[in-house]
Amino acid sequence: MNAIATPAKSTKAGGLKHDESLSGLLRFITAGSVDDGKSTLIGRLLYDTGNVASDQLASILATSQKRGLAEIDWSLLTDGLLAEREQGITIDVAYRYFSTARRKFIIGDAPGHEQYTRNMVTAASNADLAILLVDARKGVVTQTRRHAYLAHLLGIRELMLAVNKMDLVDWQPAVYQAIVDEFVSFVTRLGRHHVQAIPLSALSGSNVVARDQSVSWYRGPTLLEYLESIPARRDAGLASLRLPVQRVARVMLGNGADGSTHGEFRGYQGTLASGTLRPGDEVMVMPSAQRARVAGIKIGEQSLAQAAMDRSVVVSLDRELDVSRGDMLVDPREPPRVSKELVADLCWLSEQPLQPRGKYLIKHTTRTVQALFAELDYLIDVNTLARHKGPETAHMNDIVRVRLKLQQPLLTDAYADNRVTGSFIVIEPVSLNTVAAGVIV
């Protein structure tokens, strides 16, 4: 009975050769039901990689002992606020950091409580991969499917199924295999993903950082080996150029950083949402569709021969164009859609339900526009994936397919193609709160 994983594109994961081509930063989320051992897994991962300071360890040890626990309560490490510890309130997403010689990691730790849709969506929006925990004794449960669906909705292609508490089922390969099979068959219905399953025990640390030698049938990577070797989203980087303009930088008399009064400069500041940019490249400014060539790319004083996705740069062009915040520099061969209408899946985040006739603000890249709901098409049941047509409104945690009318056009791609130009938030103009997250279809 061999280790199973699935469309294994990452068989190299076992090898610990340092790979310079991988991004040095990986963001992932952890999800699971309340008692699946999520805190234990995170605690274990931080501890076994040497990322728990001794004073923090002493503090959680003392508290665990004071409470008469037989094991360390790792949730004391992850539930930070006094208010949380005392009152058992869980406050949205927490961020944890750890690093190894190969990478820095940011964990978006979404609490598994009843507000999970909203929390999952928040944590998942920036994540490269999702670790979905299941209890080996319980197998795939409704929550596992919800979390897999939400990870899918937010464009996470790397899914890790952590089959935890394997020690409690005597490391039986058949138990593990059955869980993996069920999960893979569900995920296949959602679309294309890469699934890596790992049998482990967070409590004893088996297959988290250290391999469990007694489990000879499992030949795949440990959790850490997998995390160290998996490509980040930004490693793919094949999409065409999108550079939303954040600010126009203009140096005239007196406002130069070097204090000089000679020469003028006009450049466009922004972060590359996708693609690469080199001096000499022809770019198109949207929405005006004017073209120019890149004269220079800089970060601070340093000139770049090439800028890649995610870098924050200032770009100068070879001619004077009318460009302002909210415009976008794009590849003229593959421009984004320019549209005053959006079809999107919204995750409603607010306790105030959606007002179908209300006006809202949409913030998309660096542009904010007014919007109206032209249509509420259907609600998605994240448990069954069933569609309920024609809802009156949407409540917190609902996922709803909508059609929006915009006061001004936006420059968009489908979220599946581009997570930056395919995403937006909805702002309620009276409370000024962020009330929904949108992914463009």
- Span from 172-180, 182-190, 246-254, 378-386 in contact with another protein (CB under 8 A): 246-254
Task: Please check whether residue 22 is in contact with residue 100, taking contact to mean a CB–CB distance below 8 angstroms.
Answer: no
- Number of residues this chain uses to bind another protein (CB under 8 A): 91
Residue with tokens 């999952």: 120
- Span from 116-124, 177-185, 187-195, 276-284 in contact with another protein (CB under 8 A): 116-124
Tell me if the bond preceding 279 is cis, omega within 30° of 0.
Answer: no
Q: Which is nearer to another protein, 242 or 419 (CB)?
A: 419
Check residue 56 for interaction with another protein (CB under 8 A): yes
Q: By CB under 8 A, what part of segment 247-276 binds another protein?
A: 247, 249-251, 255-259, 265, 267, 269-271
Check residue 328 for interaction with another protein (CB under 8 A): no
**Closest approach of Cβ 387 to another protein, in Å?**
24
Among 101, 174, 238, 253, binds another protein (CB under 8 A): 101
- Collapsing DSSP to helix, strand or coil, 83 comes out as helix
Report the C-alpha gap between 439 and 278 in whole angstroms: 30
Report the C-alpha gap between 222 and 14 in whole angstroms: 8
Check residue 24 for interaction with another protein (CB under 8 A): yes
Q: Which is nearer to another protein, 62 or 338 (CB)?
A: 62
Q: DSSP string spanning 26-56?
A: EEEEEE--TTS-HHHHHHHHHHHTT-S-HHH
- The tokens of 245 are what? 């303009």
- Span from 52-60, 135-143, 175-183, 335-343 in contact with another protein (CB under 8 A): 52-60
Give me the helices (H) in 73-190, please.
75-78, 82-87, 116-124, 142-153, 173-190
**Closest approach of Cβ 181 to another protein, in Å?**
29
Check residue 301 for interaction with another protein (CB under 8 A): yes
Residues forming a β-bridge with 26? 105
Q: By CB under 8 A, what part of segment 62-91 binds another protein?
A: 64-65, 68-72, 80-83, 89, 91
**Closest approach of Cβ 251 to another protein, in Å?**
5
- Is the alpha carbon torsion for 192, 108, 229, 274 positive or negative? positive
Exposure class string for 311-340: b at 16+ Cβ within 10 A, else e:
bebbbbbeeeeebebbbbbbbbeebbeeee
Q: Which is nearer to another protein, 82 or 305 (CB)?
A: 82
**Closest approach of Cβ 249 to another protein, in Å?**
5
**Closest approach of Cβ 292 to another protein, in Å?**
19
